[in-house]
Amino acid sequence: MRLQDFDNGERYRARILSNSAITAPGAAEEVRELALEVECSKFDFSIGQSVGVILEGPFRQSERLDMEIGHAHHFRLYTVADTPAINARGKPEIKLCVRRCHYIDEHSGEEYPGIASNYLCDRKTDDIITINGPFGLPFDVPADKDADLLLIGMGTGIAPFRAFVKHLYRDVGDWRGRVRLFHGARSGLEMLYKNDQVDDFTQYYDEETFQAFQAVSPRPHWGDPADMCKSLLEKGEDVLAILRSDAGYVYVAGREDTLASLENIFATLLGSAEEWQALKRDKSASAHWRELIY
């Protein structure tokens, strides 16, 4: 991920308002939510977009990827995890969902902390960071309130849907189409925005149109991924109806390997890879398919 590929020429200072864990104690992975105040009243973003976080170099030898290709900065994208808001000081506030990452050096076999994720997870209240953006296509709410929505987010890919569902029922209101949210993690302890620390989605369970389905790993202690395939196939009739509907929208967020798995699932539901690819092309052309892949 190169800064020059995303840099829009403007960078903004942002102050840390809060930094809190949203995974349970004892979870194999730590995920935190950071609330930021952007020191520019004109900074604007939409649900489903990401902001860039920029760290000044130089970096240590263990972070040599940046050094080898001559980067003076380290850059990563993070999805905005809440709806746009302006605080009492007239400044935009945004929330980021950040997983603390570690990487294995393919040459030495040593484990190193991810630069940007650990930097963000360790920030304190009133610290200043540098951001830019926003980037990516927004997850627009369709104009037709009878439209059916299939939302699929894995791991931190749930972040934009936390904002999307909140906006749908709080700001838009009177949604008549089906809303089916599939989200997952390796274990219940790592389930984001649906655990003892932060539980956002249960407030929408009284909405007749809303249903959420969780997927966890069958063997979390082995590091296996969440079984999203099983969850989607179990609700295959509903999923297939939304895929085939002219009023059906599909929004996907998560890692690239998530998308590859979904391609196989949808091909299975539709009967062939060719039929699925043709349908996906139609949905993409009509903006009924949006993906946020990192």
130-144 pLDDT, tens per residue?
999 888 877 889 999
Q: Which of the 8 DSSP states describes residue 172? A: I
Boundary residue ending a domain (80, 114, 135): 135
Query: What's the CA gap between 233 and 279, in Å, rounded?
Result: 18
**Quick check: 278 pLDDT over 90?**
yes
Taking a C-beta distance cutoff of 8 angstroms, is the pair 215, 186 a contact?
Answer: no
Q: What is the distance in angstroms between the CA of the first residue and the CA of the last residue of the chain?
A: 10
Residue 240: which domain range? 148-293
Domain membership flag for residue 143:
no
Q: What is the CA radius of gyration of the chain?
A: 19
Task: State the Cα–Cα distance between residues 191 and 184, nearest whole angstrom.
Answer: 6
Is there a contact between 141 and 179 (Cβ–Cβ < 8 Å)? Answer: no
Residue that finishes a domain, picked among 104, 135, 166: 135
Number of domains, the chain: 2
Query: Are 124 and 197 contained in the same domain?
Result: no
Report pLDDT for 265: 86
Q: What mean pLDDT is predicted for residues 139-156?
A: 88
Q: What are phi and psi of 118, to 5 degrees?
A: -70, -35
pLDDT band of residue 108 (cuts 50, 70, 90) is: confident
Same domain, 52 and 30: yes
141 found inside a domain:
no
* Euclidean distance between CA atoms 99 and 172, whole angstroms: 30
Q: Do 171 and 233 fall into the same domain?
A: yes
Look up the CATH number of the domain holding residue 127: 2.40.30.10
Same domain membership, residue 247 and residue 157: yes
C-alpha–C-alpha distance, residues 264 and 230, integer Å: 12
